[in-house]
């Protein structure tokens, strides 16, 4: 058993509404959607048209810059609608699902017996390649590269995140098959980062992989943090990251030859009446699981967790990389002398707010900014929740002035938005950290390519 690596910086935001470890059932959603906004850095081109019949795994989009990357339909059915926004930019492609999903057959195979190119070709062909992402830039991996390593974080430390052991339970074989496929794609190792505070599940013990145990507050479960702690990414290096449930989807592809996009989703948050797990297919419409199951209130619906998730409507769709739905109160009320009030019920890492009386209390937080955007004034606060040997404020400032050399020098290759999400949460000046970082990553990507 490897030694536990302690992540000291970070903070766990304790929220109400953790999902109980039971699978609840709901009516199968009738529509599914693929949202281009889930894939930064991609220029989407439609491959299917409204009215087309597709099977699960048939390509819906491809990336204009890297046409070999296609995005497979998660279900079979009819392309019902292409929702467009300004300048005809595609917002969503909605699929009206068949009662019974019909799959395109990509032929089952044992990944260990295939060559690297064959493994790659199968994943690309089935439109599943987008599950593989790369650092730097946190975008879909460039299939023409051979990554230094591949990293799978086997736990999620974000607030109310689904429990990895629970999710993998019963799918150990698929997970291991998926990892074996990944092992073909790198000359380095496939690294598995597991929660060091519990005994790792047997599913994560796979010959030929490197197991690491991490302990500490969020963001200890982020792949970026784990990579930084073990072997930081240097300029010119690429490390691929794949989520645990995405590994299982890859495993299923090799086991059955089909793109089976089922995921275990934690429906969580203080506004949910019965927070439970659901088995849903990627891109599912969430109306059927939300309707009647949330407080009758001004709610905010989030696909993902409260740190990095995207706001959706109560009839919105599950985003591509998310395994969690959070429903929280929207807030939005002005607060009389809020800057002097003790604010017992709010979250803060600072003891200038009187919530330090009950640090372990699970809270019901709303989406209020609790202040207005200001210039950077307070120093040393990001550093408390950012477990990288990187100067976060200076990195952000280099992005704001679009200084590419400084961004590179200050370590932008190692970080993704999720790694800096806590900086944004605790920021006194309410700086839009994740948005700024994304701008920086996009700028680098445009200038230097992947």
CB atoms within 10 A of CB 389: 10
Contact between 444 and another protein (CB under 8 A)? no
Minimum distance, C-beta of residue 310 to another protein, in the bound complex (Å): 10
Chain residues 300-329 in contact with another protein, contact rule CB under 8 A: 300, 302, 306-309, 311, 326, 328
Instruction: Confirm if 442 and 41 have CB atoms less than 8 A apart.
Output: yes
Among 8, 145, 361, 374, binds another protein (CB under 8 A): 374
Closer residue to another protein, CB minimum distance, 103 or 354: 354
Closer residue to another protein, CB minimum distance, 79 or 437: 437
Binding piece for another protein, criterion CB under 8 A, among 1-9, 271-279, 288-296, 415-423? 415-423
Closer residue to another protein, CB minimum distance, 117 or 435: 435
Closer residue to another protein, CB minimum distance, 16 or 201: 16
**Strand 277-281 relative to strand 44-46: parallel, antiparallel, unpaired?**
unpaired
Instruction: Confirm if 61 and 71 have CB atoms less than 8 A apart.
Output: yes
Chain residues 132-171 in contact with another protein, contact rule CB under 8 A: 159
Minimum distance, C-beta of residue 275 to another protein, in the bound complex (Å): 17
Minimum distance, C-beta of residue 212 to another protein, in the bound complex (Å): 19
Write the CA distances from 358 to 262, 351, 409, integer angstroms: 39, 11, 40
Instruction: Confirm if 35 and 446 have CB atoms less than 8 A apart.
Output: no
277 beta partners = 23, 266
Write the CA distances from 107 to 24, 100, 120, 121, 122, integer angstroms: 32, 20, 14, 12, 9
What the block records as the tokens of 76 is 């079979």
Contact between 294 and another protein (CB under 8 A)? no
- ω into residue 222 within 30 of 0, thus cis? no
CB atoms within 10 A of CB 298: 12
DSSP string, 138-160: TEE--TTS--SEEEEE----STT
Query: Site for another protein (CB under 8 A): how many residues?
Result: 76
Contact between 430 and another protein (CB under 8 A)? yes
Site track for another protein across 342-361, x = CB under 8 A: -x--xxxxxxxx-x------
Among 103, 255, 279, 376, binds another protein (CB under 8 A): 376
Closer residue to another protein, CB minimum distance, 204 or 382: 382
Closer residue to another protein, CB minimum distance, 111 or 269: 269
Query: Closest Cα to residue 183, out of 241, 112, 278, 121?
Result: 112
Minimum distance, C-beta of residue 337 to another protein, in the bound complex (Å): 7
Among 99, 144, 187, 375, binds another protein (CB under 8 A): 375
């Amino acid at each position: 058993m490897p030694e536990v690596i302690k992540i000291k910086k970070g903070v766990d935001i304790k929220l109400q509404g953790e999902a109980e470890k039971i699978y609840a059932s709901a009516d199968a959603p009738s529509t599914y959607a693929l949202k281009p906004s889930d894939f930064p850095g991609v220029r989407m081109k439609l491959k299917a048209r409204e009215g087309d019949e597709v099977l699960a795994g048939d390509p819906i989009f491809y990336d204009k810059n890297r046409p070999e990357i296609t995005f497979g339909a998660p279900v079979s059915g009819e392309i019902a609608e292409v929702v467009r926004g300004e300048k005809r930019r595609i917002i969503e492609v909605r699929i009206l699902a068949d009662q019974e999903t019909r799959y395109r057959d990509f032929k089952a195979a044992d990944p260990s017996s295939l060559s690297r190119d064959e493994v790659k070709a199968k994943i690309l062909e089935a439109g599943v390649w987008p599950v593989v992402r790369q650092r730097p830039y946190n975008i879909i991996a460039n299939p023409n590269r051979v990554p230094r390593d591949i990293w799978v974080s086997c736990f999620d430390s974000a607030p109310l995140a689904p429990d990895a052991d629970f999710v993998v339970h019963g799918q150990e074989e698929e997970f291991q098959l998926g990892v074996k496929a990944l092992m073909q794609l790198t000359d380095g190792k496939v690294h598995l980062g597991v929660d060091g505070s519990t005994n790792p599940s047997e599913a994560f013990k796979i010959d030929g992989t490197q197991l690491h145990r991490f302990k500490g507050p969020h963001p200890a479960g982020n792949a970026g943090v784990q990579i930084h702690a073990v072997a930081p990414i240097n300029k010119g290096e690429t490390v691929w990251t794949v989520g645990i449930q995405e590994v299982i989807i890859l495993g299923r592809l090799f086991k059955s030859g089909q793109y089976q996009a089922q995921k275990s989703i934690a429906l969580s948050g203080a506004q949910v009446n019965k927070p439970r797990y659901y088995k849903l297919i990627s891109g599912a419409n969430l109306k059927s699981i939300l309707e009647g199951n949330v407080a009758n209130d001004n709610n905010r619906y989030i696909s993902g967790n409260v740190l990095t998730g995207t706001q959706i409507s109560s009839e919105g769709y599950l985003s591509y990389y998310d395994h969690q739905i959070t429903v929280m109160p929207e807030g939005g009320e002005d607060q009389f002398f809020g800057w002097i009030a003790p604010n017992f019920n709010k979250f803060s890492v600072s003891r200038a707010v009187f919530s330090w009386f009950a640090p372990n209390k699970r809270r019901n937080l709303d989406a209020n900014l609790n202040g207005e955007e200001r210039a950077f004034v307070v120093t040393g606060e990001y550093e408390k929740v950012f477990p990288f040997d990187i100067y976060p404020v200076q990195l952000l400032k280099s992005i704001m002035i679009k200084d590419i050399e400084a961004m590179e020098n200050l370590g932008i290759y190692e970080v993704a938005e999720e790694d800096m999400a806590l900086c944004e949460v605790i920021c006194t000046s309410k700086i839009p950290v994740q948005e700024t970082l994304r701008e920086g990553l996009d700028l680098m990507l445009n200038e230097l390519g992947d």
